[in-house]
Amino acid sequence: MVILGVILLIIGLIANISILTTIGLILAIVGLILNLVPMGGSRRRVF
């Protein structure tokens, strides 16, 4: 998702298409957040 966002961001900047730039930026940010935040309570409990 991050790579797709960066590709769309670059294409949008080169071709001067604002909607591609916006979608690429949103996809890149959401992809980074999903990669950094653990999903589903994946905390490891050590006793």
Q: What pLDDT score was predicted for residue 35? A: 83
pLDDT in tens, 1-47: 888 888 999 999 899 988 999 999 999 999 888 888 766 665 655 55
Confidence at residue 47, expressed as pLDDT on a 0 to 100 scale: 59
pLDDT at 38: 67
Note the pTM of the prediction, 2 decimals. Answer: 0.70
Measured CA to CA in angstroms, residue 33 lies from 2, 5, 47 at distances of 10, 13, 29
Tokens of 46: 């050590």
Q: Which pLDDT score, from 0 to 100, does residue 22 have?
A: 92
Q: What DSSP letter does each residue of 1-47 carry, written as one string?
A: -HHHHHHHHHHHHHHT-HHHHHHHHHHHHHHHHHHHSPSS--PPP--
